[in-house]
A and B are shown apart, each in its own frame.
Chain A
């Protein structure tokens, strides 16, 4: 991603004068562009800055000095990778031209004509993304002053985007997500936003923080502001904090960010790379991704929305299964589930690095000590059933309690089974066995390569003998009935055929009957 960003900005060195016109245009476009991917960026690239904004996002945001003549270098980079984010970014840049120096002409002009639709929220999100993701073509001048105003501008710009994600103090690479969320924040739910962002998790991963979900702009702005500032400062400090070096800022930031949540990039990478997953499925992916990045509220929501669809225990077993099963799906699920169940995970001895990483991420994000689920996940589940459904708070509390009790009981029994197996590691098969035997729940996809052996029904000898006796008595009764009938028919035939013939015929019938009896037993 970073590599791609620098090259595209370079070709876009259109005259900044044109930025004036484009800024107004991109504003409405971003909203539309968020949903339409590459087309808006290409169109905006020619016009201006809005497109490039997403690219520069990774780099630290420029200072308040508005570079009027910053080439729209980042523009081309953005469209290729983050068409949505570009759209979203374009708006905020326009508003905060001062902040984004390298967003060049568009930004200054944009500030003059900020899109009224854009609230403070988009600004915040964009600001986050830009500084981290900027790839480098930006001029060196804005870098030093940019860093300082950047932090200052974070407070404003982060508005809604930072939101809960930022609160986690893990400005993970959700820059792109922020951009897209910015545009769509007002329109879409945080989960949906995250879903969109998830599409380019790899690319956006480099973006600092840029929390995609922007729910309450005002409050979140403040929280995000403080958090983003910390994260941005940290990331920027690690990086040259200048828009110059395209990759170095990203890499150091990424490494610093990665330290906080190592499992985030690798696990997301695979699911995100599956390009043909439609946007609808992005929410699923974003869930797994957001688990790590976003605040505890967001990940549990997404995770629960997906996983709770199936079963509660899946989350748990996934975390277990992830240890033994290599399936990517399971890994992503386990990550999500792992995030939700830090306490239970602590009991498990992780065999995979991802699990340990997930644990670290979970413990970091777990604010309420001991709480596995949050009400947000209950809300998500209910929304899946009926978007207009509302639950009383007491009902939600009860549901959370039930879920936690369920997880506790499953874990306890699973551990006792593992102990019975003379092993000190809780594995997927322990959980699966318990669920299958006691809850009659089957979870496909976790049983590994073991074949279910058929156990013949255990029958007692006494029972077998009794059954044999019953059969014999039935046969005897039938034989008696048959003989009676045969006798009657023989009597009838005697008159016609003759005694000898009748006798022979009766004997034959008896033999036939015995033959039948013998067959009956088999």
Chain B
């Protein structure tokens, strides 16, 4: 799964672009399947109630939307929206912040690994 901050930013971008089309459409059940598994992981029934899942999804979407709007407010002063804006918003929530930085560093590591992998492939290709 993508990093939470980048994922959030992409999701927020999507949600913010929706209003330009219509302000009444909001897809329901976007996170339904994933949320069910997550809720089970946190102790709920393996098949939670659809109303519960809908409520949790509402909470999630509201949180992401609110975060995206605040990040946009901050980013607009600098000019562009960036990952730093999101990290700034969750600075007070240490577990989230640490998890975000960890995922971002993981993403960097994976990028490096992919780059090295491709370079190796090229080397092998040239050798052959």
Bound pair (A, B) = yes
A-side residues, CB < 8 A to B, are 274, 276-277, 327-329, 442, 444-445, 447, 449-454, 456-457, 522
Given A451-B15, A456-B76, the answer on whether A444 and B26 have CB atoms closer than 8 Å is no
Chain B 53-80 interface residues, beta-carbon cutoff 8 Å to A: 54-55, 58-59, 62, 65-66, 68-69, 72-73, 76, 79
Q: Is the CB of B51 within 8 A of A327?
A: yes
Q: Is the CB of A276 within 8 A of B58?
A: no
Chain A contacts for B18, CB-based, 8 A: 451
Given A276-B45, A447-B58, A522-B79, the answer on whether A453 and B19 have CB atoms closer than 8 Å is yes
A451 to B47, CA, bound (A): 28
| Interface membership of chain B positions 4-36, coded 1 if the CB is closer than 8 angstroms to chain A and 0 otherwise | 000000000001101100011110100000000
Q: Is the CB of A276 within 8 A of B47?
A: yes
> Shortest distance in angstroms between A302's beta carbon and chain B's nearest beta carbon?
19
Q: Is B49 an interface residue (CB 8 A)?
A: yes
Task: Closest A residue to B55 by CB, please name it.
Answer: A445
Range for the number of chain B residues in contact with chain A:
20 to 34
Partner of A329, one of B45, B51, B68, B72: B51
> Shortest distance in angstroms between B13's beta carbon and chain A's nearest beta carbon?
10
Chain B contacts for A445, CB-based, 8 A: 54-55, 58-59
Q: Is the CB of B24 within 8 A of A450?
A: yes
Given A276-B47, A445-B55, the answer on whether A451 and B73 have CB atoms closer than 8 Å is no
A442 to B66, CA, bound (A): 11
A129 to B18, CA, bound (A): 56
A522 to B51, CA, bound (A): 48
A522 to B79, CA, bound (A): 8
A329 to B15, CA, bound (A): 26
Chain A contacts for B23, CB-based, 8 A: 450-451, 453
A329 to B56, CA, bound (A): 13
Given A442-B62, A444-B62, A451-B19, the answer on whether A457 and B76 have CB atoms closer than 8 Å is yes
A454 to B73, CA, bound (A): 10
Q: Is the CB of B55 within 8 A of A449?
A: no
Q: Is the CB of B16 within 8 A of A454?
A: yes
Chain B contacts for A328, CB-based, 8 A: 51
Chain A contacts for B79, CB-based, 8 A: 522
For the A-B complex, the count of residue pairs with Cβ-Cβ distances under 8 Å equals 56
Chain A contacts for B65, CB-based, 8 A: 451-452
Provide a sorted-by-A list of 14 A–B residue pairs whose CB atoms are within 8 angstroms: A327-B51, A328-B51, A444-B58, A444-B62, A445-B55, A445-B58, A447-B58, A450-B26, A451-B15, A452-B15, A452-B66, A452-B69, A453-B16, A522-B79
A428 to B92, CA, bound (A): 32
Chain A contacts for B59, CB-based, 8 A: 444-445
Chain B contacts for A327, CB-based, 8 A: 51, 54-55
Task: Closest A residue to B74 by CB, please name it.
Answer: A457
Q: Is the CB of A329 within 8 A of B55?
A: yes
Chain B contacts for A452, CB-based, 8 A: 15, 62, 65-66, 69
Chain B contacts for A329, CB-based, 8 A: 51-52, 55
A456 to B24, CA, bound (A): 19
A454 to B49, CA, bound (A): 31
Partner of A447, one of B15, B62, B73: B62
Task: Closest A residue to B22 by CB, please name it.
Answer: A451
> Shortest distance in angstroms between B31's beta carbon and chain A's nearest beta carbon?
13
Q: Is the CB of A454 within 8 A of B58?
A: no
Given A450-B26, A452-B65, the answer on whether A457 and B73 have CB atoms closer than 8 Å is yes
Chain A contacts for B52, CB-based, 8 A: 329
Task: Closest A residue to B72 by CB, please name it.
Answer: A454
Chain B contacts for A276, CB-based, 8 A: 45, 47
Partner of A454, one of B25, B45, B68: B68
Chain B contacts for A274, CB-based, 8 A: 49
Task: Closest A residue to B76 by CB, please name it.
Answer: A457
Not counting A445-B54, A454-B69, a sample of 15 additional A-B residue pairs whose C-beta atoms are within 8 angstroms of each other reads A276-B47, A328-B51, A442-B62, A444-B55, A451-B15, A451-B19, A451-B23, A451-B25, A451-B65, A453-B16, A453-B23, A454-B16, A454-B68, A457-B73, A522-B79
> Shortest distance in angstroms between A321's beta carbon and chain B's nearest beta carbon?
12
Q: Is the CB of A454 within 8 A of B54?
A: no
Q: Is the CB of A449 within 8 A of B68?
A: no
Task: Closest B residue to A467 by CB, please name it.
Answer: B77
> Shortest distance in angstroms between A461's beta carbon and chain B's nearest beta carbon?
16
A327 to B45, CA, bound (A): 20
A451 to B16, CA, bound (A): 8
A228 to B24, CA, bound (A): 51
A447 to B54, CA, bound (A): 12
Task: Closest B residue to A459 by CB, please name it.
Answer: B76
A327 to B53, CA, bound (A): 12
> Shortest distance in angstroms between B124's beta carbon and chain A's nearest beta carbon?
40
A453 to B69, CA, bound (A): 9
Chain A contacts for B16, CB-based, 8 A: 453-454
Chain A contacts for B45, CB-based, 8 A: 276
Q: What 10 A-B pairs come out closest when comparing CB atoms?
A: A453-B19, A444-B59, A444-B58, A329-B51, A445-B55, A449-B26, A454-B16, A451-B26, A445-B58, A452-B65
Q: Is the CB of A449 within 8 A of B25?
A: yes
Chain A contacts for B49, CB-based, 8 A: 274, 277
> Shortest distance in angstroms between A264's beta carbon and chain B's nearest beta carbon?
20
Residue among A328, A329, A451 having the largest count of chain B Cβ atoms under 10 Å: A451
Chain A contacts for B72, CB-based, 8 A: 454, 456
Chain A contacts for B76, CB-based, 8 A: 456-457
